[in-house]
Chain A
């Protein structure tokens, strides 16, 4: 079940997807996002924009981590922490929906 509430335990088994109430645009590898709920704009650098692209379809956090580790020179554990932190920020701004991994 979709939720815009920030989960207390976002984990690698969670499935995340971009929220409906946003519109975004690619800016030469970066991304610009407009929240339709708040009217706030957000800018993402190239790595974050890559994750954002992955989130256009429901994706498990573990799959995002694996995709980033494969593409960038980063340790798996560090990458996982950074991604979870980033996803928490997106969730706080209601830019993504988080689903329990067992639902997917």
Chain B
């Protein structure tokens, strides 16, 4: 029982530390970091994609010396690696902005490229890994611009046929190794003209050494965070996705909640119930207890509870099979992720993880059996977990 109590502290403490509008002061956080068992926490932080954010919070709260040394050493190395990795993306972003300006092509930066330009408004908006450069263009300019970038030395990174009807053109890259995605929209369900209108109207103009660029207003950053996360289904309930909305929410910048509600009710999203649960989780991460009343009663989703399950999975499985990579393809790593996936799906009221399309009957049966076993583990834990 003692170990269960410690596990609860680790998951809770992660959340309490990350919250920009946290309820705990630095003194109380220090006391808890000094007492916490961090078994499974490094794996959880990696799974959640929040190493950079956690490092910055601990450093800024002057708590790095309070946490266990091995964990801190791991965290510092991970955060520096991510910060360095992001620089490659930012450098590529500057190259693209410069080229687009030289072509006279209007554009709006999206996702990580946009977040980096908005740190004055949204603290910690850049405190996560960014993988590529996403930029939205007017639909009629996207393909000609893509061709001009090809002529400028960029090569096609992935030319899958489904890009023909996708909301961004096939990714490009150059010898810098960072992909560039020219978007015509921000979601499959959203018409390009509407996407451009939303993102460019009220966009914030940013002056860079590479020239002028624009980033979406708070409402659109928030909405895009939501739509991007729910596209990822249960993966979107990881902290790195929730963070994108939570930092905007916590900043106090004005969000047009009437517009958000209208879009939720418009049928634009395929699964509004999941979206509303995601909003509840993002509110929890931002430390906002009472979301805007126009959102109505958001369905319950205990983010802390999900994190407790995840850290327990990493801890228990790690006790038996140590040093398995979080994102490994070996059976142990995959089983761990299935346990987490089923916990999230159960909390969201979703059915078992479906087998991949085209799987044989035997594979389908095996996948359902594994998912069912994972679900059973989660539900058993729910019955015996400490309050």
Interface size on B, as a range, is 10 to 19
Tell me if B91 counts as interface (CB < 8 A to partner A).
yes
Cα-based distance from A24 to B84 in the complex (angstroms): 9
Task: Judge whether B90 is part of the interface by a CB distance below 8 angstroms.
Answer: yes
Q: Is B87 a contact partner of A25 (Cβ separation < 8 A)?
A: yes
Residues A32 and B80 in contact in the complex (CB < 8 Å), given A20-B209, A23-B87, A41-B87: yes
| A23 to B86 Cα, complex, angstroms | 10
- B59 interface contact, C-beta 8 A: yes
With contact pairs A28-B55, A32-B84, A34-B84 given, residues A23 and B60 touching in the complex (Cβ less than 8 Å): no
Contact residues of B between 33 and 73, Cβ < 8 Å to A: 55-56, 59-60
B91/A23 in contact, CB under 8 A: yes
Q: How far is the CA of A37 from the CA of B59 in the complex (A)?
A: 31
The yes or no answer to B88 lying at the interface (CB within 8 A) is: yes
Nearest chain-A residue to B86 (Cβ)? Answer: A25
A residues in contact with B88, CB < 8 Å: 34
Please determine whether A27 and B87 come into contact, CB atoms closer than 8 angstroms: no
* Contact, CB under 8 Å: A27 / B94: no
A-B pair number, CB within 8 angstroms: 36
Taking a contact as CB atoms under 8 Å apart, the answer to whether B91 and A34 are in contact is: yes
Q: Is B282 among interface residues, defined by CB-CB distance under 8 A?
A: no
Could you write out 19 A-B pairs with CB less than 8 Å apart?
A: A23-B91, A23-B94, A25-B83, A25-B86, A25-B126, A27-B55, A27-B80, A28-B55, A28-B60, A29-B59, A29-B60, A32-B80, A32-B83, A32-B84, A32-B87, A34-B88, A36-B91, A41-B84, A41-B87
Bound-state Cα–Cα, A8 to B60, Å = 39
Interface centre among B56, B86, B87, B94 (most CB of A within 10 A): B87
List the A residue with the shortest CB-CB distance to B52.
A27
B79 at the binding interface (Cβ < 8 Å): yes
Min CB gap B117→A, angstroms: 12
Could you tell me the distance in whole angstroms from the C-beta of A21 to the nearest C-beta in chain B? 9
Q: Give per-residue flags for B195-231: 1 if the beta carbon is below 8 A from chain A beta carbons, else 0.
A: 0000000000000010000000000000000000000
The reply to whether B87 and A34 form a contact with Cβ atoms under 8 Å apart is yes
- How far, in whole Å, are A43 and B83 apart by their CA atoms in the complex? 10
Residue of A nearest to B55 (CB): A28
Residue of A with least CB distance to B90: A23
Residues of A5-62 contacting chain B, CB below 8 A: 20, 23-25, 27-30, 32-34, 36, 41, 43
Contact partners of A27 in chain B: CB under 8 A: 55-56, 79-80, 83
- The residues of B that contact A34 with a CB separation of less than 8 Å are 84, 87-88, 91
- Asked if residues B87 and A24 are in contact (CB atoms below 8 Å), the reply is yes
Residues of B within 8 A of A41 (CB): 84, 87
- For B83, the chain A residues whose CB sits under 8 A away are 25, 27, 32
CA A34 to CA B90, docked complex, whole Å: 10
Contacts A25-B126, A34-B91 aside, 7 further interface pairs with beta carbons under 8 A come to A27-B79, A28-B56, A28-B60, A30-B59, A33-B87, A34-B87, A41-B84
Between B56, B83, B209, the greatest number of chain A beta carbons within 10 A of the residue's beta carbon is seen for B83
A70–B245 Cα gap in the complex (Å)?
40
- Chain A residues with CB under 8 Å of B90's CB are 23, 25
Assembly CA distance A41 to B83 (angstroms): 10
A30 CB to closest chain B CB (Å) equals 8
Compute how far the CA of A30 lies from the CA of B76 in the bound complex, rounded to whole angstroms: 11
Interchain nearest-CB distance for A41 vs B (Å): 4
Indicate if the CB atoms of B91 and A28 lie closer than 8 Å.
no
A71-92 CB contacts (< 8 Å) to partner B: none
Q: Which residues of B contact A43 (CB under 8 A)?
A: 80
Q: Are B59 and A28 in contact (CB under 8 A)?
A: yes
Contacts of A29 in B (CB 8 A): 59-60
Interface residues as binary, B75-117 with A (CB distance below 8 Å gives 1, 0 otherwise): 0000110011011101100100000000000000000000000
Q: Which residues on the A side are within 8 Å of B59 (C-beta)?
A: 28-30
Q: What's the Cα separation between A29 and B80 when bound, in Å?
A: 12
B80 partner residues in chain A, CB cutoff 8 A:
27, 32, 43
User: Bound state CA distance, A68 and B368, in angstroms?
Assistant: 63
Question: Which residues of B have CB within 8 Å of A32?
Answer: 80, 83-84, 87
What's the nearest-Cβ distance from chain A to residue B93, in Å? 9
* A77 to B59 Cα, complex, angstroms: 30
Report B57 CB to chain A, min CB distance, Å.
Answer: 8
Q: With A and B bound together, what is the CA distance between A25 and B91 in angstroms? A: 11
B148-172 residues at the A interface, CB under 8 angstroms: none
Closest to B79 in A: A27
A19 to chain B, nearest CB (A): 12
Contacts of A28 in B (CB 8 A): 55-56, 59-60
